Amino acid sequence: MNSMEIEEMAVDWTRLPRDILETVSKNLTIYTDYLRFQAVCHTWRISVPKIPHHLPPQLPWLMLPLSQQSQSQSHRPFLDLSDHKIHLLNLPEAASHLKRRCGSSHGWLIILDETPKILLLNPLTRAKLNLPPLFTFPNVVTFNYSEIGKEYALRSLSGNIYRRSLKEMRDSFIKKLVLSSSPALNTNFIALAILNQTGDLVFCKNGDQAWTFIHDARSFCEDVIYYNDLFYAVDKSGGVAVCDVHGENSPLVSIIKRFETPRQFGGDMQYLVNSGDDLLLVTRYLDLGYEDGGDPYNSPTVFYKTVQFEVFRMDFSREPPMWERVWDLGDRMLFVGENSSLSLSASDFRGCLGNCIYYTDDYCESNYDGAFRDYDIGIFNLCDGSIEALPCYHPNSHSQLHWPPLWVSPNPC
């Protein structure tokens, strides 16, 4: 075959019919693959929707911490586990040591700084939305910028008034915040926050001017997840509060008593995971570690580290519903930490392991704040109980770090 015959047989891929391009694009399930498809040429890009609304939940990226020596004032690095690549996103709203993330949910970051503002930010689209500010929480009595170092007055559970600074409110007032859905897909989304010191749950609906207590769910402050149109919150021993915040008489709360086993009481942290049709409870066990800096005049550094996980499934067929032990997750992999917990099928993503729990450090800010050491982050294998490091995560142990890594699901909508 000569060169002329080869040229005659060559296909001009830029002239593919629009319907074929649309069909191909709808069969792409990975967001980065869709971006590569759009980048082929101008014809392909304009033939498919700019925002792919058909995509299933994506493999979360790991939002990496900034070192104190970071030169970037506007970008944040995200690690993609599937191809071990770093995506550097322009996010001036989050690229500062003065900004704290108190969770990620449905692909949106929740950002706090030393102002009363609570910002929702989609790192892919740069879409932004403000929730009611901190001074609208029901236990905040007054807020005044002129009261430097004690700008907030709050009411304790006993009724006493105490003061907090802008920095203290940023760092320790909210433990975690989750959303019922993506604000871009559902304007009727609901935000629910866990308060650190009191263990209260508070919520607001989109458009509300202030936050509302869920009074009957106090102490169910380990984790919260949105499951089957309801918020489920868990306490230290595995008890669950089911919160309906939709109706006119909301919030309505019902309690599922804990699954009482001696081992269950030994867990240090609890997570709730929506896994297909199942509601899972993930129990995390920590142990103390010691690090000797070699200085005989200073005591060894004490820190926490993860040593084990256990998983339970809520059996709703029983009355009352109860937790039953799960020994094998099959193809499922769980992502827990400061993010809204997530369950995905490992076979849908290259480089991922089924029957594993991917976890980040979210339990003790003193474990990393101001310390020259790594975070508690890794992969726990439920089959044999082994723990391994993320194969593509290389922390810089020589930099002073702040705010640990966070799972964020890339969501273009």
* 234 — pLDDT class (breaks 50, 70, 90): very high
Handedness of CA 32, 404, 401, 96 (dihedral sign): positive
* 324 — pLDDT class (breaks 50, 70, 90): very high
Q: In the numeric block, which tokens belong to residue 322?
A: 């109860």
Alpha-carbon gap, residue 103 to 362, rounded angstroms: 10
Q: What is the mean pLDDT of residues 298-320?
A: 87
pLDDT at res. 347 = 94
Alpha-carbon gap, residue 227 to 249, rounded angstroms: 20
**Cα 341 from chain centroid (whole Å):** 6
Q: What is the mean pLDDT of residues 296-306?
A: 75
Alpha-carbon gap, residue 373 to 228, rounded angstroms: 40
pLDDT at res. 363 = 73
* 290 — pLDDT class (breaks 50, 70, 90): confident
200 pLDDT more than 70: yes
Task: Name the least confident of 55-59, 110-114, 337-341.
Answer: 55-59
222 pLDDT more than 80: yes
* 62 — pLDDT class (breaks 50, 70, 90): very high
Q: Are 284 and 309 in contact (CB under 8 A)?
A: yes
Alpha-carbon gap, residue 307 to 240, rounded angstroms: 24
**Cα 96 from chain centroid (whole Å):** 19
Q: Are 112 and 174 in contact (CB under 8 A)?
A: yes
| CB count in 10 Å sphere of residue 111 | 21
pLDDT at res. 261 = 43
Q: Residue 372, SS3?
A: coil
Select from 303, 320, 276, 273 the least CA-distant residue to 373: 303
291 pLDDT more than 90: no
Alpha-carbon gap, residue 323 to 385, rounded angstroms: 20
- Which of residues 344 and 350 earns the better pLDDT score? 344
pLDDT at res. 72 = 61
Alpha-carbon gap, residue 65 to 131, rounded angstroms: 24
Is the backbone peptide bond immediately before 320 cis, with ω within 30 degrees of 0? yes
The conformation of residue 307, written as its DSSP 8-state character, comes to E
Q: In the numeric block, which tokens belong to residue 259?
A: 């699954």
pLDDT in tens, 132-155: 999 999 999 999 999 999 999 999
| H helix or E strand, kind and range, residue 13 | none
The conformation of residue 215, written as its DSSP 8-state character, comes to G
Task: Name the least confident of 153-167, 257-271, 308-322, 344-358.
Answer: 257-271
Q: Are 360 and 79 in contact (CB under 8 A)?
A: no
| H helix or E strand, kind and range, residue 50 | none
Alpha-carbon gap, residue 161 to 261, rounded angstroms: 39
| H helix or E strand, kind and range, residue 343 | strand 342-345
113 pLDDT more than 50: yes
Task: Name the least confident of 102-111, 147-156, 253-262.
Answer: 253-262
Q: Is 149 left (phi over 0), alpha (psi -120 to 50) or beta?
A: left
| Side chain identity at residue 276, one-letter code | G
pLDDT in tens, 367-406: 444 444 578 899 999 999 999 998 777 665 434 456 789 9
Q: What is the mean pLDDT of residues 254-271?
A: 69
CA separation (Å) from 187 to 52, 159, 179, 190, 206?
A: 19, 36, 12, 9, 7
Which pTM value belongs to this model? 0.89
Select from 362, 378, 371 the least CA-distant residue to 398: 371
